[in-house]
Protein backbone atom coordinates (compact mmCIF):
# COMPACT_ATOMS: atom_id res chain seq x y z
CA UNK A 1 0.00 0.00 0.00
CA UNK A 2 2.89 2.34 0.73
CA UNK A 3 3.93 2.26 -2.93
CA UNK A 4 0.57 3.59 -4.08
CA UNK A 5 0.31 7.30 -4.92
CA UNK A 6 -1.18 9.79 -2.51
CA UNK A 7 -2.84 11.40 -5.52
CA UNK A 8 -3.69 10.09 -8.97
CA UNK A 9 -3.76 13.59 -10.44
CA UNK A 10 -0.92 14.75 -12.67
CA UNK A 11 0.28 18.12 -11.32
CA UNK A 12 1.68 19.06 -14.72
CA UNK A 13 -1.86 19.19 -16.14
CA UNK A 14 -3.43 21.30 -13.41
CA UNK A 15 -5.38 23.46 -12.88
CA UNK A 16 -8.57 21.99 -14.31
CA UNK A 17 -9.93 23.82 -17.39
CA UNK A 18 -13.48 24.18 -16.07
CA UNK A 19 -15.39 27.41 -15.53
CA UNK A 20 -15.03 29.11 -12.11
CA UNK A 21 -17.42 27.46 -9.67
CA UNK A 22 -18.11 24.46 -11.94
CA UNK A 23 -18.64 21.26 -9.98
CA UNK A 24 -16.53 19.12 -12.31
CA UNK A 25 -13.30 19.94 -10.50
CA UNK A 26 -14.84 19.01 -7.15
CA UNK A 27 -15.96 15.63 -8.49
CA UNK A 28 -12.49 14.89 -9.86
CA UNK A 29 -10.87 15.79 -6.55
CA UNK A 30 -13.30 13.48 -4.73
CA UNK A 31 -12.66 10.71 -7.27
CA UNK A 32 -8.92 11.10 -6.70
CA UNK A 33 -9.45 10.77 -2.95
CA UNK A 34 -11.74 7.74 -3.42
CA UNK A 35 -9.19 5.90 -5.56
CA UNK A 36 -6.54 6.58 -2.93
CA UNK A 37 -8.88 5.31 -0.20
CA UNK A 38 -9.53 2.09 -2.12
CA UNK A 39 -5.83 1.78 -2.93
CA UNK A 40 -6.02 1.23 -6.65
CA UNK A 41 -2.90 0.64 -8.69
CA UNK A 42 -2.93 3.40 -11.34
CA UNK A 43 -1.70 0.87 -13.89
CA UNK A 44 -4.90 -1.13 -13.36
CA UNK A 45 -7.27 1.83 -13.82
CA UNK A 46 -8.83 2.89 -17.12
CA UNK A 47 -10.78 6.14 -17.24
CA UNK A 48 -13.25 6.22 -20.13
CA UNK A 49 -14.76 9.50 -21.29
CA UNK A 50 -16.75 10.91 -24.19
CA UNK A 51 -17.64 14.35 -25.54
CA UNK A 52 -18.58 17.17 -23.18
CA UNK A 53 -16.95 19.09 -20.35
CA UNK A 54 -16.61 15.85 -18.37
CA UNK A 55 -14.70 14.47 -21.33
CA UNK A 56 -11.81 16.80 -20.45
CA UNK A 57 -11.21 14.89 -17.22
CA UNK A 58 -9.12 11.86 -18.13
CA UNK A 59 -6.01 13.83 -19.16
CA UNK A 60 -5.48 14.93 -15.56
CA UNK A 61 -4.94 11.43 -14.14
CA UNK A 62 -1.85 9.20 -14.18
CA UNK A 63 -3.90 6.19 -15.30
CA UNK A 64 -4.88 4.62 -18.59
CA UNK A 65 -7.58 6.46 -20.53
CA UNK A 66 -9.83 6.14 -23.55
CA UNK A 67 -11.73 9.07 -25.04
CA UNK A 68 -14.49 8.36 -27.55
CA UNK A 69 -17.76 9.45 -29.12
CA UNK A 70 -20.57 11.16 -27.23
CA UNK A 71 -22.80 8.71 -25.39
CA UNK A 72 -20.60 5.71 -26.18
CA UNK A 73 -18.34 5.74 -23.13
CA UNK A 74 -20.23 2.93 -21.39
CA UNK A 75 -19.92 0.81 -24.53
CA UNK A 76 -16.14 1.27 -24.66
CA UNK A 77 -15.88 0.59 -20.94
CA UNK A 78 -17.95 -2.58 -21.22
CA UNK A 79 -15.69 -3.91 -23.94
CA UNK A 80 -12.56 -3.15 -21.93
CA UNK A 81 -13.96 -4.87 -18.84
CA UNK A 82 -15.09 -7.94 -20.77
CA UNK A 83 -11.66 -8.23 -22.39
CA UNK A 84 -9.70 -7.47 -19.22
CA UNK A 85 -11.74 -8.26 -16.08
CA UNK A 86 -8.67 -7.50 -13.94
CA UNK A 87 -8.86 -3.79 -14.75
CA UNK A 88 -10.77 -1.14 -12.79
CA UNK A 89 -12.81 0.62 -15.49
CA UNK A 90 -14.30 3.97 -14.56
CA UNK A 91 -16.64 5.96 -16.84
CA UNK A 92 -16.72 9.73 -16.48
CA UNK A 93 -19.76 11.06 -18.33
CA UNK A 94 -22.23 13.93 -18.27
CA UNK A 95 -26.00 13.84 -18.15
CA UNK A 96 -25.92 14.51 -21.90
CA UNK A 97 -24.02 11.27 -22.45
CA UNK A 98 -26.59 9.44 -20.34
CA UNK A 99 -29.29 10.63 -22.72
CA UNK A 100 -27.41 9.99 -25.95
CA UNK A 101 -26.11 6.65 -24.68
CA UNK A 102 -29.08 5.63 -22.59
CA UNK A 103 -29.40 2.30 -24.37
CA UNK A 104 -25.81 1.41 -23.52
CA UNK A 105 -26.25 2.54 -19.93
CA UNK A 106 -29.34 0.38 -19.44
CA UNK A 107 -27.78 -2.74 -20.92
CA UNK A 108 -24.52 -2.42 -18.99
CA UNK A 109 -26.63 -2.25 -15.81
CA UNK A 110 -28.80 -5.15 -16.92
CA UNK A 111 -25.77 -7.31 -17.66
CA UNK A 112 -24.07 -6.18 -14.43
CA UNK A 113 -20.79 -5.47 -16.20
CA UNK A 114 -18.27 -4.41 -13.57
CA UNK A 115 -17.70 -0.79 -14.51
CA UNK A 116 -18.06 2.26 -12.28
CA UNK A 117 -20.02 5.12 -13.83
CA UNK A 118 -19.63 8.63 -12.42
CA UNK A 119 -22.25 11.02 -13.80
CA UNK A 120 -21.29 14.71 -13.84
CA UNK A 121 -24.91 15.88 -13.74
CA UNK A 122 -25.09 19.63 -14.33
CA UNK A 123 -28.62 19.39 -15.77
CA UNK A 124 -27.79 20.71 -19.24
CA UNK A 125 -25.34 20.51 -22.15
CA UNK A 126 -22.71 22.80 -20.70
CA UNK A 127 -20.15 22.59 -23.50
CA UNK A 128 -22.37 23.50 -26.45
CA UNK A 129 -24.43 26.40 -25.15
CA UNK A 130 -26.63 25.17 -22.31
CA UNK A 131 -29.27 23.17 -24.18
CA UNK A 132 -31.69 21.06 -22.10
CA UNK A 133 -30.71 17.46 -21.43
CA UNK A 134 -32.56 14.37 -20.23
CA UNK A 135 -32.01 15.43 -16.61
CA UNK A 136 -33.15 19.07 -16.91
CA UNK A 137 -35.84 19.66 -14.23
CA UNK A 138 -39.37 20.86 -15.13
CA UNK A 139 -39.68 24.60 -15.58
CA UNK A 140 -35.96 25.11 -16.15
CA UNK A 141 -34.88 27.78 -18.63
CA UNK A 142 -32.22 26.63 -21.09
CA UNK A 143 -31.04 27.61 -24.55
CA UNK A 144 -33.62 25.27 -26.06
CA UNK A 145 -36.39 25.74 -23.48
CA UNK A 146 -36.59 29.55 -23.08
CA UNK A 147 -40.17 29.29 -21.80
CA UNK A 148 -39.34 26.52 -19.36
CA UNK A 149 -38.74 22.80 -19.62
CA UNK A 150 -41.98 20.80 -19.88
CA UNK A 151 -40.56 17.26 -20.16
CA UNK A 152 -40.29 14.84 -17.27
CA UNK A 153 -36.57 14.46 -16.46
CA UNK A 154 -34.94 11.06 -16.63
CA UNK A 155 -34.29 9.45 -13.26
CA UNK A 156 -30.80 8.18 -14.07
CA UNK A 157 -30.47 6.27 -10.82
CA UNK A 158 -33.95 4.78 -11.02
CA UNK A 159 -33.36 3.75 -14.63
CA UNK A 160 -30.22 1.73 -13.96
CA UNK A 161 -31.54 0.39 -10.64
CA UNK A 162 -34.71 -1.07 -12.14
CA UNK A 163 -32.59 -2.68 -14.82
CA UNK A 164 -30.33 -4.51 -12.38
CA UNK A 165 -27.47 -2.21 -11.39
CA UNK A 166 -25.78 -3.60 -8.30
CA UNK A 167 -24.79 -0.29 -6.69
CA UNK A 168 -26.61 3.01 -7.23
CA UNK A 169 -26.16 6.28 -5.37
CA UNK A 170 -27.08 9.92 -5.81
CA UNK A 171 -25.49 12.97 -4.20
CA UNK A 172 -24.47 16.56 -4.92
CA UNK A 173 -21.11 18.30 -4.87
CA UNK A 174 -22.35 20.13 -1.76
CA UNK A 175 -22.77 16.91 0.24
CA UNK A 176 -19.88 15.56 2.25
CA UNK A 177 -20.42 11.97 1.16
CA UNK A 178 -19.07 12.15 -2.43
CA UNK A 179 -15.71 10.51 -1.65
CA UNK A 180 -17.37 7.79 0.43
CA UNK A 181 -19.94 6.94 -2.24
CA UNK A 182 -17.34 6.88 -5.00
CA UNK A 183 -15.12 4.59 -2.91
CA UNK A 184 -18.03 2.21 -2.28
CA UNK A 185 -18.83 2.22 -5.98
CA UNK A 186 -15.21 1.42 -6.85
CA UNK A 187 -15.20 -1.49 -4.41
CA UNK A 188 -18.48 -2.91 -5.71
CA UNK A 189 -18.07 -6.07 -7.78
CA UNK A 190 -20.51 -5.32 -10.57
CA UNK A 191 -22.12 -2.34 -12.28
CA UNK A 192 -22.04 0.75 -10.08
CA UNK A 193 -23.28 4.28 -10.75
CA UNK A 194 -22.99 7.47 -8.74
CA UNK A 195 -25.09 10.39 -10.01
CA UNK A 196 -23.49 13.61 -8.76
CA UNK A 197 -25.59 16.76 -9.18
CA UNK A 198 -23.59 19.96 -9.56
CA UNK A 199 -23.63 23.54 -10.82
CA UNK A 200 -23.05 24.62 -14.42
CA UNK A 201 -21.97 28.17 -13.61
CA UNK A 202 -21.76 29.19 -17.27
CA UNK A 203 -25.34 28.46 -18.31
CA UNK A 204 -27.73 26.56 -16.07
CA UNK A 205 -27.08 28.13 -12.69
CA UNK A 206 -27.33 31.79 -13.88
CA UNK A 207 -30.48 31.16 -15.93
CA UNK A 208 -32.24 29.34 -13.10
CA UNK A 209 -30.64 30.89 -10.00
CA UNK A 210 -29.56 27.42 -8.96
CA UNK A 211 -27.80 27.11 -5.62
CA UNK A 212 -27.21 24.37 -3.09
CA UNK A 213 -30.53 25.10 -1.40
CA UNK A 214 -32.58 25.29 -4.60
CA UNK A 215 -30.90 22.10 -5.90
CA UNK A 216 -32.01 20.24 -2.79
CA UNK A 217 -35.51 21.61 -3.31
CA UNK A 218 -35.56 20.31 -6.91
CA UNK A 219 -34.43 16.86 -5.75
CA UNK A 220 -37.15 16.83 -3.12
CA UNK A 221 -39.87 17.94 -5.54
CA UNK A 222 -38.87 15.24 -8.03
CA UNK A 223 -38.78 12.61 -5.30
CA UNK A 224 -35.13 11.88 -6.05
CA UNK A 225 -33.58 10.56 -2.84
CA UNK A 226 -29.87 10.91 -2.15
CA UNK A 227 -27.35 8.52 -0.65
CA UNK A 228 -27.12 4.81 -1.45
CA UNK A 229 -30.28 3.85 -3.31
CA UNK A 230 -29.44 0.26 -4.14
CA UNK A 231 -26.71 -2.18 -3.12
CA UNK A 232 -27.25 -5.75 -4.17
CA UNK A 233 -24.51 -8.28 -4.92
CA UNK A 234 -24.99 -10.50 -7.95
CA UNK A 235 -22.58 -12.20 -10.37
CA UNK A 236 -20.47 -9.74 -12.36
CA UNK A 237 -20.76 -10.53 -16.05
CA UNK A 238 -17.11 -10.62 -17.14
CA UNK A 239 -16.23 -13.07 -14.35
CA UNK A 240 -19.43 -15.10 -14.74
CA UNK A 241 -18.88 -15.44 -18.48
CA UNK A 242 -15.38 -16.76 -17.96
CA UNK A 243 -16.56 -19.27 -15.37
CA UNK A 244 -19.28 -20.49 -17.70
CA UNK A 245 -16.85 -21.00 -20.60
CA UNK A 246 -13.80 -22.15 -18.67
CA UNK A 247 -14.15 -25.74 -19.92
CA UNK A 248 -14.10 -24.67 -23.59
CA UNK A 249 -11.54 -21.87 -23.37
CA UNK A 250 -9.30 -21.92 -26.41
CA UNK A 251 -11.77 -23.89 -28.53
CA UNK A 252 -13.30 -22.29 -31.64
CA UNK A 253 -16.41 -20.29 -30.83
CA UNK A 254 -18.11 -21.81 -33.88
CA UNK A 255 -16.46 -25.16 -34.60
CA UNK A 256 -16.05 -25.74 -38.31
CA UNK A 257 -18.12 -28.51 -39.77
CA UNK A 258 -15.57 -30.49 -41.70
CA UNK A 259 -16.38 -31.60 -45.23
CA UNK A 260 -14.59 -34.63 -46.62
CA UNK A 261 -12.62 -34.20 -49.85
CA UNK A 262 -14.22 -37.00 -51.85
CA UNK A 263 -13.88 -35.62 -55.36
CA UNK A 264 -11.19 -34.05 -57.50
CA UNK A 265 -11.19 -31.00 -59.72
CA UNK A 266 -8.90 -29.81 -62.49
CA UNK A 267 -10.18 -26.24 -62.31
CA UNK A 268 -7.15 -24.18 -63.47
CA UNK A 269 -8.29 -20.74 -62.32
CA UNK A 270 -11.03 -19.12 -60.22
CA UNK A 271 -14.58 -19.56 -61.53
CA UNK A 272 -17.04 -16.84 -60.49
CA UNK A 273 -20.77 -17.57 -60.36
CA UNK A 274 -23.80 -15.32 -59.95
CA UNK A 275 -27.23 -16.73 -59.07
CA UNK A 276 -30.15 -14.32 -59.47
CA UNK A 277 -33.64 -15.25 -58.36
CA UNK A 278 -36.45 -14.63 -55.94
CA UNK A 279 -36.76 -14.88 -52.18
CA UNK A 280 -38.14 -18.20 -51.04
CA UNK A 281 -36.85 -19.97 -54.16
CA UNK A 282 -33.77 -21.41 -52.42
CA UNK A 283 -31.23 -19.33 -54.28
CA UNK A 284 -28.97 -19.15 -51.25
CA UNK A 285 -29.37 -22.89 -50.64
CA UNK A 286 -28.28 -23.67 -54.18
CA UNK A 287 -25.29 -21.33 -53.89
CA UNK A 288 -24.33 -22.93 -50.60
CA UNK A 289 -24.49 -26.38 -52.17
CA UNK A 290 -22.16 -25.17 -54.95
CA UNK A 291 -19.65 -23.81 -52.43
CA UNK A 292 -19.70 -27.02 -50.38
CA UNK A 293 -19.30 -29.08 -53.54
CA UNK A 294 -16.15 -27.10 -54.30
CA UNK A 295 -14.77 -27.83 -50.83
CA UNK A 296 -15.59 -31.52 -51.30
CA UNK A 297 -13.52 -31.29 -54.47
CA UNK A 298 -10.47 -29.86 -52.72
CA UNK A 299 -11.10 -26.29 -53.87
CA UNK A 300 -11.46 -23.02 -51.99
CA UNK A 301 -14.86 -21.36 -52.06
CA UNK A 302 -16.52 -18.11 -50.98
CA UNK A 303 -20.23 -17.32 -50.77
CA UNK A 304 -21.96 -13.95 -50.58
CA UNK A 305 -25.74 -13.52 -50.50
CA UNK A 306 -27.90 -10.44 -50.92
CA UNK A 307 -31.62 -10.15 -50.23
CA UNK A 308 -34.01 -7.58 -48.74
CA UNK A 309 -34.90 -7.57 -45.07
CA UNK A 310 -38.31 -8.98 -45.94
CA UNK A 311 -36.55 -12.33 -46.63
CA UNK A 312 -39.56 -14.15 -48.07
CA UNK A 313 -40.37 -11.65 -50.79
CA UNK A 314 -38.35 -9.70 -53.34
CA UNK A 315 -35.03 -10.55 -54.93
CA UNK A 316 -32.37 -13.03 -53.86
CA UNK A 317 -28.81 -12.94 -55.18
CA UNK A 318 -25.77 -15.08 -54.46
CA UNK A 319 -22.17 -14.86 -55.60
CA UNK A 320 -19.85 -17.87 -55.39
CA UNK A 321 -16.17 -18.09 -56.20
CA UNK A 322 -14.54 -21.49 -56.76
CA UNK A 323 -10.75 -21.46 -56.80
CA UNK A 324 -7.78 -23.84 -56.69
CA UNK A 325 -5.95 -21.21 -54.59
CA UNK A 326 -7.07 -19.21 -51.53
CA UNK A 327 -9.44 -16.38 -52.49
CA UNK A 328 -7.97 -13.02 -51.52
CA UNK A 329 -10.73 -10.84 -52.96
CA UNK A 330 -14.33 -11.99 -52.79
CA UNK A 331 -15.91 -9.43 -55.12
CA UNK A 332 -17.46 -10.65 -58.38
CA UNK A 333 -17.42 -7.92 -61.02
CA UNK A 334 -17.81 -10.04 -64.17
CA UNK A 335 -19.09 -13.54 -63.39
CA UNK A 336 -18.07 -16.46 -65.57
CA UNK A 337 -21.43 -18.17 -65.10
CA UNK A 338 -24.79 -16.53 -64.41
CA UNK A 339 -28.00 -18.29 -63.43
CA UNK A 340 -30.78 -15.83 -64.33
CA UNK A 341 -33.78 -17.60 -62.85
CA UNK A 342 -36.61 -15.30 -61.73
CA UNK A 343 -37.80 -11.77 -62.60
CA UNK A 344 -37.06 -10.36 -59.14
CA UNK A 345 -33.39 -11.15 -59.41
CA UNK A 346 -33.21 -10.41 -63.13
CA UNK A 347 -34.14 -6.77 -62.53
CA UNK A 348 -31.04 -6.35 -60.38
CA UNK A 349 -28.53 -8.12 -62.65
CA UNK A 350 -29.69 -7.24 -66.17
CA UNK A 351 -27.08 -4.50 -66.55
CA UNK A 352 -24.34 -6.81 -65.34
CA UNK A 353 -25.39 -9.40 -67.91
CA UNK A 354 -25.25 -6.81 -70.68
CA UNK A 355 -21.65 -6.04 -69.74
CA UNK A 356 -20.47 -9.68 -69.76
CA UNK A 357 -17.69 -10.72 -72.13
CA UNK A 358 -18.18 -13.47 -74.69
CA UNK A 359 -16.37 -16.00 -72.47
CA UNK A 360 -19.20 -15.90 -69.90
CA UNK A 361 -22.24 -18.17 -69.96
CA UNK A 362 -25.76 -17.22 -68.90
CA UNK A 363 -28.32 -19.88 -67.98
CA UNK A 364 -31.74 -18.27 -68.17
CA UNK A 365 -35.20 -19.64 -67.58
CA UNK A 366 -38.23 -18.70 -69.72
CA UNK A 367 -39.43 -16.67 -66.72
CA UNK A 368 -36.97 -13.86 -67.46
CA UNK A 369 -36.56 -11.72 -70.59
CA UNK A 370 -33.55 -12.13 -72.81
CA UNK A 371 -30.76 -9.57 -72.55
CA UNK A 372 -28.52 -8.47 -75.37
CA UNK A 373 -24.99 -9.44 -74.37
CA UNK A 374 -21.77 -10.85 -75.76
CA UNK A 375 -22.05 -13.77 -73.35
CA UNK A 376 -23.42 -17.12 -74.48
CA UNK A 377 -27.08 -17.56 -73.56
CA UNK A 378 -28.45 -21.02 -72.72
CA UNK A 379 -32.14 -21.35 -71.97
CA UNK A 380 -33.25 -24.04 -69.54
CA UNK A 381 -36.88 -24.78 -68.70
CA UNK A 382 -36.75 -26.29 -65.18
CA UNK A 383 -40.42 -27.24 -65.29
CA UNK A 384 -39.59 -29.71 -68.06
CA UNK A 385 -36.86 -31.45 -66.05
CA UNK A 386 -37.81 -34.86 -64.65
CA UNK A 387 -39.32 -34.85 -61.18
CA UNK A 388 -39.64 -31.10 -60.78
CA UNK A 389 -42.67 -29.82 -62.66
CA UNK A 390 -43.89 -26.57 -61.18
CA UNK A 391 -41.84 -26.87 -57.96
CA UNK A 392 -40.12 -23.53 -58.54
CA UNK A 393 -38.45 -23.70 -55.13
CA UNK A 394 -36.27 -26.48 -56.63
CA UNK A 395 -35.46 -24.80 -59.92
CA UNK A 396 -32.26 -23.12 -58.72
CA UNK A 397 -30.61 -26.42 -57.79
CA UNK A 398 -31.85 -28.05 -60.99
CA UNK A 399 -30.43 -25.34 -63.26
CA UNK A 400 -27.26 -25.26 -61.19
CA UNK A 401 -26.80 -28.99 -61.69
CA UNK A 402 -27.18 -28.52 -65.44
CA UNK A 403 -24.62 -25.69 -65.43
CA UNK A 404 -22.08 -27.62 -63.34
CA UNK A 405 -22.32 -30.61 -65.63
CA UNK A 406 -22.01 -28.57 -68.83
CA UNK A 407 -19.22 -26.24 -67.72
CA UNK A 408 -17.19 -29.01 -66.14
CA UNK A 409 -15.97 -26.91 -63.24
CA UNK A 410 -16.80 -29.73 -60.82
CA UNK A 411 -17.66 -33.38 -60.85
CA UNK A 412 -21.49 -33.36 -60.84
CA UNK A 413 -21.31 -35.99 -58.14
CA UNK A 414 -19.78 -33.43 -55.77
CA UNK A 415 -22.83 -31.18 -56.11
CA UNK A 416 -25.13 -34.15 -55.72
CA UNK A 417 -23.33 -35.16 -52.53
CA UNK A 418 -23.71 -31.64 -51.15
CA UNK A 419 -27.40 -31.57 -51.96
CA UNK A 420 -27.91 -35.03 -50.49
CA UNK A 421 -26.43 -33.84 -47.22
CA UNK A 422 -28.71 -30.79 -47.03
CA UNK A 423 -31.80 -31.41 -49.16
CA UNK A 424 -33.28 -34.89 -48.96
CA UNK A 425 -36.48 -33.80 -50.69
CA UNK A 426 -34.61 -32.60 -53.76
CA UNK A 427 -32.90 -35.97 -54.10
CA UNK A 428 -36.16 -37.83 -53.66
CA UNK A 429 -37.73 -35.81 -56.48
CA UNK A 430 -34.95 -37.08 -58.76
CA UNK A 431 -31.50 -35.70 -59.21
CA UNK A 432 -31.28 -33.89 -62.55
CA UNK A 433 -27.50 -33.79 -62.77
CA UNK A 434 -26.99 -35.01 -66.31
CA UNK A 435 -27.01 -32.48 -69.16
CA UNK A 436 -29.71 -32.80 -71.79
CA UNK A 437 -28.54 -34.50 -74.98
What CATH number does residue 127 fall under? 3.40.50.970
Residue 116 lies in a domain: yes
Q: At what angle do helices 283-296 and 412-422 cross, to 10 degrees?
A: 120
Torsion sign over Cα 287, 360, 340, 314: positive
Asked if 395 and 363 count as a contact pair (C-beta separation under 8 A), the reply is: no
Range of the domain at 179: 11-244
Statement to judge: residues 222 and 304 lie in one domain = no
Tell me the DSSP string of 195-215: EEE---TTTHHHHHT--HHHH
Of 203, 227, 244, the last residue of a domain is 244
| CATH classification of the domain holding 343 | 3.40.920.10
Statement to judge: residues 145 and 62 lie in one domain = yes
Residue 404 lies in a domain: yes
Statement to judge: residues 41 and 81 lie in one domain = yes
Tell me the DSSP string of 312-381: SSSEEEEEEEEESS--S----SS-SEEEE-SHHHHHHHHHHHHT--TT-EEEE-TTS-----SSEEEE--
Statement to judge: residues 301 and 210 lie in one domain = no
Residue 353 lies in a domain: yes
User: What's the burial of 268, exposed, middle or buried (CB within 10 Å: 0-12/13-18/19+)?
Assistant: exposed
Statement to judge: residues 169 and 47 lie in one domain = yes
HEC string of 16-76 equals: CCCCCCCCHHHHHHHHHHHHHHHCCCHHHEEEEECCCHHHHCHHHECCEEEECCCCCHHHH
Going residue by residue through the chain (437 aa), what tens digit of pLDDT does each one get?
A: 456 677 999 999 999 999 999 999 999 999 999 999 999 999 999 999 999 999 999 999 999 999 999 999 999 999 999 999 999 999 999 999 999 999 999 999 999 999 999 999 999 999 999 999 999 999 999 999 999 999 999 999 999 999 999 999 999 999 999 999 999 999 999 999 999 999 999 999 999 999 999 999 999 999 999 999 999 999 999 999 999 999 988 887 666 667 889 999 999 999 999 999 999 899 999 999 999 999 999 999 999 999 998 767 899 999 999 999 999 999 998 999 999 999 999 999 999 999 999 999 999 999 999 999 999 999 999 888 765 656 677 889 999 999 999 999 999 999 999 988 876 545 554 454 444 43
Statement to judge: residues 51 and 140 lie in one domain = yes
Q: How many domains does the chain have?
A: 2
Statement to judge: residues 303 and 408 lie in one domain = yes
Statement to judge: residues 78 and 217 lie in one domain = yes
The contacts of residue 42 (CB under 8 Å, 6+ apart) are 5, 8, 61, 62, 63
Q: pTM for the full model?
A: 0.69
Statement to judge: residues 207 and 90 lie in one domain = yes
Q: At what angle do helices 395-407 and 412-422 cross, to 10 degrees?
A: 160
Amino acid sequence: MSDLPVTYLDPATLPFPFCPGCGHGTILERLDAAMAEVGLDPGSVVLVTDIGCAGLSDRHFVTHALHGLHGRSVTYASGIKLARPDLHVVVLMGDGGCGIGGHHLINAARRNIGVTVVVFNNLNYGMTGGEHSVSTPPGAVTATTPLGQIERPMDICGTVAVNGAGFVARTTTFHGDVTELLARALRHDGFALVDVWELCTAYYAPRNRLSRRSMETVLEELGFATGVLREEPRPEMAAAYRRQHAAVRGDPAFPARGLPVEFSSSLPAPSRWLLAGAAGRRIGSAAGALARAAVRSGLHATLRTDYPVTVRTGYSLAEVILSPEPVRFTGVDHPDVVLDLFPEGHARVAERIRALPEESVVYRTPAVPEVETLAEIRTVDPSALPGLGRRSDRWAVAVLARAVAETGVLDPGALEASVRAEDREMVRRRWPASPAP
